[in-house]
Structure 1
Amino acid sequence: MFNKLLTHLKKIDWIIFGCIILLIGFGLAVIYSVALSGGEAGFINFKKQCVFAVVGIALLFIFSFFDFHALYGFNKWIYAGGIGSLILVLLFGETVRGTRAWFEFGGFSLQPSELVKIVVVLALAKYFSAASYKINQLKHIILTGLIVFLPIILILWQPDFGSATIIFIFWLAILAIFGLNRKQIIIITFISLMLFATSFFFLLKDYQKERILTFLNPNISSLEQGYNVAQAIIAIGSGGLFGKGLGFGSQSQLKFLPESQTDFIFAVIGEELGLLGVIFLTTFFAVLFFRMLYWVRHLNNNFGLYIILGAIILFFVQMFINIGMNIGILPVVGIPLPFVSYGGSSLIASLVLVGIAESVIIHTRHN
């Protein structure tokens, strides 16, 4: 038993695992820093995030042990379970700021939309692995569109515009890899605009609409709807090269910067750890992505290949949007920074996906 465990551990890609641990450590340090001036609630969040990290890392190792091929056969049931969870949260979930997106369990919450991101990755990986050579045909675009639009519609119903956006962009990015022609781009753009317009006028809450309008009208007063982004930009700009030090950021510690443990944690990093902190953070992400790309190029199993490719795209899109929100080049849509921002559902779901990717690597090496 011990020898089997040791053999398994030797096959894990420790470069990927090391990058994940460094990113989680980065996040915990900043969450603790923000908690120093946040009272008891801030420290409770820090303690919860530590628990989430331990649980997530344990699940990473557990999923790495399982042969990922089993996910191929159970794909339909996994997808059905994901859709079912989105329906149940609409019926029985807790409502926070007008969004019904969480199940509450004794002080902890679960956000199904974070887990559904994994479900979508697996569903598309199975589909693409069977039809990758002709995926840019209109028929396959429509069929994959149906796979992603059902969860997107249910998520928009909550409404959670951020998670819906991530899933949609993830789908577009996968299709773009296969090369869409002009006609296909026009059709997808038209459908996207129709869906966005419907969501904007009939599903999104007022504060979500204001975030988008603020982005479209950047001249709006920083004391009105553009306050969050203005404070984030001030925080990042004031950090300089070396930052003000953990616990010494004026914007984050004096509470000028809202959502500093979640949406705007990147701004806290920029203020308290400076440009060097930002460089270290983005370097960890870059090494993670390039290492996963290495395996994409060396795998001969299409299903496993698309799982890892999907993980790369999903993490990159979330990272890009979160940083874009913080520096004012993208609208604020409530996207966490992967492995770094506070949030149990996001962290655990991300670590489970890494565990599945490790399973692909381990069993591909084995074969």
Structure 2
Amino acid sequence: MVDARLWRRFDWLLLTAVILLVTFGVAMIFSATRNEGNPSVERSWLDQAITAVIGLMVLMTFSILDYTLLKNFAAPIYIGVVAALALVLIIGIERQGARRWFSLGGFDLQPGELAKLALTIVLAKLIADRQGRRPYLETLLLSSLLVAPCIVLILLQPNLSTALTIAFLWLVIVFVGGIERQHILIMSVVGLAIVLLVTQLPAFQTYQLRRIELLLGLTDEPGANYQSEQALIALGNGGLFGQGYLQGQQTQLRFFPVRHTDFIFSVIGEELGFVGCVIFMVLLATVILRALRAAIIARDTFGRLLCTGIAATLFLQTYINLAMQVGLMPVTGVPLPFVSYARSSLITLMIAVGIVESVAMRYKKLEF
């Protein structure tokens, strides 16, 4: 049983923002997929809604559990995720040249999404356990050795955006964990070397490099930027208040094919306008800020790093997705948190929010 006094510290504002975002997402997925002509696509909103309900139960379960228990499972979590990332390259289903998913009875499990949260837990434990040890450079090297296999396996899928998210997550956690000034130069040099190495991988050369060249206008391929161009048109159509729910021209006439997944923000912009986009961003900013608040009030380094890593992941995913839709980044498969049709991502994010709630509820020991 959980002490009733803990519930007084439960972050109801965080939970409310998450529920509103998920509801927002289900409504926009319904608008983006109705009259699609494909029954499996048309029921995406229902699948997302069912996943959201399950996710809320998972969220509450993780908030009830003491987050410090995660330390005991860090090793098996890490081994399981690395094994899943390796296995998906062998038996995972392939779509559009990428092998990133397991098909589990109609549910597509993407281990790359789980890897983000798993590495947050593993890195937080490593750095918290080694807090105060010198030199910190040793901790940096150990943490990088944990992250490297996951990044390599994810790049082989190929999935550059998730690999970059994990690299960013590592940088944030080791920085908050107590990086020393002289190590910033070392990390910069290592980071540059990794970037140069990644650009030489065959997967990058044939898949991501083409997208970057198209974004920068270095190559001309008619129709290659069709998706992002249609997304910009949709956003422009929305104006201040939008064309109305279920009334978006680009959306309802199906001018761009992945409206309910990667480009859901364009649907929001077209049908609900600038005002709808602002409301969405305020809700998502609330979730990120409440995660940072939990990090600030956390009673230990482990909890602080957990919440910081979760907030960093949410921020970067949001930035990449929005930048992609306005032409500031190449088109890539990064879902918009809580809103895009991405069931693996939604479940993972619900677990993450549950962990944040657990940290917030236990920011200091109960007095007896």
Q: Does 1:214 align with 2:209?
A: no
Helix, strand or coil for the counterpart of 2:259?
A: coil
Partner of 2:169: 170
Q: Does 1:63 align with 2:62?
A: yes
The CA distance in 2 between the partners of 1:216 and 1:7, in whole Å, is 55
Partner of 2:190: 188
Letter in 2 for 1:274: G
Q: Compared with structure 1, are the counterparts of its residues 135 and 205 closer, same or farther at alpha carbon in structure 2 (3 Å cutoff)? A: farther
Letter in 2 for 1:103: F
* RMSD of Structure 2 on Structure 1 (CA): 2.2
- Matches of residues 118-197 of structure 1 in structure 2 within 5 Å? 118-132=117-131, 137-177=136-176, 178=179, 181=182, 183-197=185-199
Q: Does 1:272 align with 2:259?
A: no
The CA distance in 1 between the partners of 2:11 and 2:364, in whole Å, is 11
Contact 2:172 2:309 in 1 (8 A): no
Cα distance, 1:205 vs structure 2? 7.9
Q: Compared with structure 1, are the counterparts of its residues 5 and 59 closer, same or farther at alpha carbon in structure 2 (3 Å cutoff)? A: farther
Q: Which moved more, 1:170-179 or 1:33-42?
A: 170-179
Cα distance, 1:327 vs structure 2? 0.8
Partner of 2:10: 12
The CA distance in 2 between the partners of 1:36 and 1:104, in whole Å, is 24
Of 21, 24, 28, the match for 1:23: 21
Letter in 1 for 2:189: I
Q: Does 1:238 align with 2:237?
A: yes
Cα distance, 1:337 vs structure 2? 0.5
The CA distance in 2 between the partners of 1:58 and 1:107, in whole Å, is 20
The CA distance in 2 between the partners of 1:296 and 1:164, in whole Å, is 24
Contact 1:215 1:331 in 2 (8 A): yes
Helix, strand or coil for the counterpart of 2:243?
A: coil
Q: Compared with structure 1, are the counterparts of its residues 136 and 351 closer, same or farther at alpha carbon in structure 2 (3 Å cutoff)? A: farther
Cα distance, 1:191 vs structure 2? 2.1
Q: Compared with structure 1, are the counterparts of its residues 144 and 154 closer, same or farther at alpha carbon in structure 2 (3 Å cutoff)? A: same
Letter in 1 for 2:350: L
Partner of 1:48: 47
Q: Compared with structure 1, are the counterparts of its residues 216 and 143 closer, same or farther at alpha carbon in structure 2 (3 Å cutoff)? A: farther
Cα distance, 1:268 vs structure 2? 1.1
Partner of 2:327: 328
Deviations 1:216-273 (A, max 9, x none): 327846x421111111111111210001111111111111123111111111111111
Q: TM-score, normalised by structure 1?
A: 0.91
Partner of 2:31: 33
Letter in 1 for 2:48: Q
Q: Compared with structure 1, are the counterparts of its residues 344 and 237 closer, same or farther at alpha carbon in structure 2 (3 Å cutoff)? A: same
Letter in 1 for 2:326: I
Cα distance, 1:135 vs structure 2? 8.7
The CA distance in 2 between the partners of 1:203 and 1:13, in whole Å, is 43
Q: Compared with structure 1, are the counterparts of its residues 61 and 186 closer, same or farther at alpha carbon in structure 2 (3 Å cutoff)? A: closer
> Would you say how many aligned residue pairs link Structure 1 and Structure 2?
362
Letter in 1 for 2:262: D
Contact 1:136 1:179 in 2 (8 A): no
Q: Compared with structure 1, are the counterparts of its residues 180 and 120 closer, same or farther at alpha carbon in structure 2 (3 Å cutoff)? A: farther
Partner of 2:352: 353
The CA distance in 2 between the partners of 1:119 and 1:325, in whole Å, is 26
Q: TM-score, normalised by structure 2?
A: 0.91
Helix, strand or coil for the counterpart of 1:338?
A: coil
Cα distance, 1:335 vs structure 2? 0.5
The CA distance in 2 between the partners of 1:129 and 1:192, in whole Å, is 26
Partner of 1:198: 200
Partner of 1:108: 107
Helix, strand or coil for the counterpart of 1:198?
A: coil
Contact 1:299 1:364 in 2 (8 A): yes
The CA distance in 1 between the partners of 2:285 and 2:345, in whole Å, is 20
Partner of 1:247: 246
Cα distance, 1:195 vs structure 2? 3.1
Letter in 2 for 1:170: L
The CA distance in 2 between the partners of 1:217 and 1:151, in whole Å, is 32
Partner of 2:303: 304
Helix, strand or coil for the counterpart of 2:309?
A: helix
Q: Which moved more, 1:335-344 or 1:207-216?
A: 207-216
Contact 2:127 2:139 in 1 (8 A): no
Point out where structure 1 has 5 or more consecutive residues left out of the alignment: none
The CA distance in 1 between the partners of 2:277 and 2:181, in whole Å, is 35
> What is the identity percentage for the equivalent residue pairs of Structure 1 and Structure 2?
36
Contact 1:126 1:303 in 2 (8 A): yes
Helix, strand or coil for the counterpart of 1:341?
A: coil
The CA distance in 2 between the partners of 1:132 and 1:215, in whole Å, is 43
Cα distance, 1:128 vs structure 2? 2.3
